[in-house]
Amino acid sequence: MKIIKLNPKAGYAKLLINSLDDLWHLSKIIEKGDLASARTTRKIKLGGDAERAKVIKKSFYIKIEVDKVELGHELKLHGRTVEEKENIAKGSVHSLSIAPGMDLKIEKAKWMKYQVDRLREAEKSSLVPKVLLCVLDDEQASFAHLTASGVKSAGSMKLRLSRKKEKEAREKKASVDSLIKILKEKGEGVEHIVLASPIIWKDIVLKELKSKAPELAKKILLENVSTGSKRGIHELISEGKLNKIISESRVARETQLVEKLLGEIAKGGKVIYGIDEVQSNIAAIRVLLVSDTFLEIHKEEVSQIIDAIEASKGEVHIIDSKNEAGKKLDSLGGIGGLLRY
């Protein structure tokens, strides 16, 4: 989640939704009587009689007074519109379907401290770097961290790569060694490192990484950019070269979590699964995994479990049932936990 603007005194928060976990947090924050604004699509009939009228889909930015909140694959906010909007009359029954990638504005008569804290905690967790970006050419390299909330610059360095004479070759080697040292430092804990350059520079660095830091080399993904300046970072983002990486990154995290659960089950480790086992061992759960399908069906029971685990500083991860990891979790009953003891 990214907080675009938060002003509790003025009564509103503007948010960018990044994940299914964000939807869970919002389901605990949004209440009956709140105002919610987001973009929605509605079918509109144009002209003619009922049989001949042309039906088109049109996008609107709608504000509703929330009457009911439902959490599943999306967050459904049901209510009535509070203002007239083109073909939508004030007071019309309408629902907003909130999903990752959407903007949402929430307005409350009074924001409670725990609600503000929850928003900030959700944003904080999304700021953990998932991907390190490094663009380079023969003269410079620029770095940035990619998180669920966006891209943050992580500095730059000078390089001397296009050198052929013996003395200059030593400078070239020193440049590559310095770059590898920085990649080790900035790449600690990230899931992927995107290495991008014009022509051969990325391949030269990757070859050295395979020799000097093989574990780090396994994280490398290669891309093409025209420059090692900040403009190269912009190229990666604006041309959509990171979209697949972002999508696969979340799937990879979910897969690792579920495989960890399965591995513990296989060796009889500190793990439980199924709603009855989870409810009986809440205090012992360190990490809870729950599929969004299971959450949708058993919202009341699971909500109580999640509240208790969060209160004891445990982790909660909502797994997408459309992915293979989610399907495996559903085959275990849709819910499971890694234990503290």
Q: What total of structural domains would you count in the chain?
A: 3
pLDDT confidence tier of residue 199, bands split at 50, 70 and 90? confident
More confident residue, 333 or 146: 333
**Residue at which a domain ends, from 241, 263, 285:** 241
| CATH number of the domain encompassing residue 288 | 3.30.1330.30
User: Is position 246 within any domain?
Assistant: no
Residue 151 lies in a domain: yes
Cross-strand partners of 165: none
- pLDDT confidence of residue 133: 94
What is residue 320's predicted lDDT score, i.e. its pLDDT? Answer: 85
Q: Examine the pLDDT at 240 and tell me if it is beyond 80.
A: no
- Of the pLDDT bands very low, low, confident and very high (cuts 50, 70, 90), residue 249 is low
Per-residue pLDDT, 147 = 73
**Residue 334 included in any domain:** yes
pTM for the full model?
A: 0.60
pLDDT of 251 > 80? The answer is no
pLDDT of residue 237: 81
pLDDT, residue 164, reads: 61
H or E stretch covering 277: helix 275-280
Kindly report the average pLDDT of the chain as a whole number: 87
Is 183 or 252 the better-scoring residue by pLDDT?
A: 183
Domain range for residue 150? 131-241
d(CA 266, CA 189): 27
The answer on pLDDT for 111 being more than 70 is yes
Which pLDDT belongs to residue 122?
Answer: 85
Read off the pLDDT of residues 253-265 as tens digits, 9 standing for 90 and up: 788 899 999 999 9
Same domain, 116 and 12: yes
Res. 128 pLDDT band, cuts 50 70 90: low
Domain identity same for 172 and 223: yes
Final residue belonging to a domain, choices 215, 241, 267: 241
- Residues 6 or more apart in contact with residue 267 via CB below 8 angstroms: none
Q: How large is the C-alpha radius of gyration of the chain?
A: 24
Q: Which residues contact 222 (CB under 8 A, 6 or more apart)?
A: 194, 195, 196, 202, 203, 206
pLDDT tens figures, 202-214: 998 999 999 999 9
